[in-house]
Amino acid sequence: MQLDQSGLEILNRDECLALLRRATIGRIVFTHHALPAVQPVNFILDRRAIVMKTSPTSRLATAAADTIVAFEVDEFDAEARTGWSVVAVGHTQRATDPADIAFLEALPLESWAPGRRDTFIRIRPELITGRRIGSPTRPDIAP
């Protein structure tokens, strides 16, 4: 086990991807009107790409298409003082090819937000980092 300077366990890329596969809600960090914006989204990990659905007119669809974003997922147990966090940074791509959209529509991804959500944004992580705090004694926190 490798620790960072703060004493947190450093997770390797495979551990980070496994935790991303388990999560259903994450936070996307993007720039909106030259300021940082953070938005919770439900998502799915498909072949190492993070996929989310949004409205075609949402600020996410307009600001986070074809740019670099950060994406974060985490889970914490305050009583046990354990948890983990994974951050992925990469380029986004708005799906426009009809065959690609058909493929993405077949994924088990349903937006929790109301209204029309038929625009797919894909993040291809170029950098994935993760940290774990505390002992992974619970099976749902273990790698």
The helices-and-strands tally (H runs, E runs) of the chain is: 3, 8
Question: Is residue 76 included in any domain, yes or no?
Answer: yes
Whether residue 66 is contained in a domain is answered as yes
Is 2 a domain residue?
no
Domain that holds residue 92: 9-130
The domain that holds 67 is classified in CATH as 2.30.110.10
**Based on the structure, what is the number of domains in the chain?**
1
pLDDT tens, the chain, 143 aa long:
898 888 899 999 999 999 999 999 999 999 988 999 999 999 999 988 999 999 998 988 888 778 999 999 999 999 999 999 999 999 999 999 999 999 999 999 988 888 889 999 999 999 999 999 986 544 444 44
Cα–chain center distance at 118? 18
Residue 137 forms part of a structural domain: no
Within-domain flag for 141? no
Q: How far apart are CA 13 and CA 1, in angstroms?
A: 14
Q: How far apart are CA 50 and CA 43, in angstroms?
A: 7
Domain contains 87 = yes
d(CA 143, CA 128) in angstroms, rounded, equals 15
CA dist 139 and 143 (Å) reads 8
